[in-house]
């Protein structure tokens, strides 16, 4: 039972480079999320998806793009990385939006942009 799996776990990028973070869930969840966590800021929503083929912007979407081509996968892309994108990124998923359907989180990706 893998749950939510994020790859990679760590990555170092140079300013201007691009990369894609992969999130995969095996729980048949409809809803998927990308958050970033910065010291003293809690978790902030970047983008989310309410189903295959759909995406929407969250609180801090600038500089990121996402795709949900398959229900089980949610990709987060950085087209031109900036030092301000140094953060820990979390993917999460949930079956529905109710309180009995809490978010399940991956273990995070630590990204450093130099």
Partner 1 sequence: AQTVTQSQPEMSVQEAETVTLSCTYDTSESDYYLFWYKQPPSRQMILVIRQEAYKQQNATENRFSVNFQKAAKSFSLKISDSQLGDAAMYFCAYRSARTGGGADGLTFGKGTHLIIQP
Can you give the binding site for partner 1, defined by CB under 8 A? 31, 33, 35, 40-45, 48, 50, 56, 58, 88, 90, 92, 94, 97-99, 102-103, 105, 107-108
Q: Which is nearer to partner 1, 77 or 105 (CB)?
A: 105
Alpha-carbon distance 67 to 51, whole Å?
11
Alpha-carbon distance 82 to 103, whole Å?
28
Q: Which is nearer to partner 1, 19 or 103 (CB)?
A: 103
What is the nearest approach in angstroms of partner 1 to the Cβ of residue 43?
4
């Amino acid at each position: 039972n893998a749950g939510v799996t994020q790859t990679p776990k760590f990555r170092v990028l140079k300013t201007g480079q691009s990369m894609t973070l992969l999130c995969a869930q095996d729980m048949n969840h409809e809803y998927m999320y990308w958050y970033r966590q910065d010291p003293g800021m809690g978790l902030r929503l970047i983008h989310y998806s309410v189903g295959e083929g759909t995406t929407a912007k969250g609180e801090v979407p600038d500089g990121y793009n996402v795709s949900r081509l398959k229900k089980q996968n949610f990709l987060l892309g950085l087209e031109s990385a900036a030092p301000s994108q140094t953060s820990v990124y979390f993917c999460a998923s949930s079956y529905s939006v109710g309180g009995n359907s809490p978010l399940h989180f991956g273990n995070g990706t630590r990204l450093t942009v130099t």
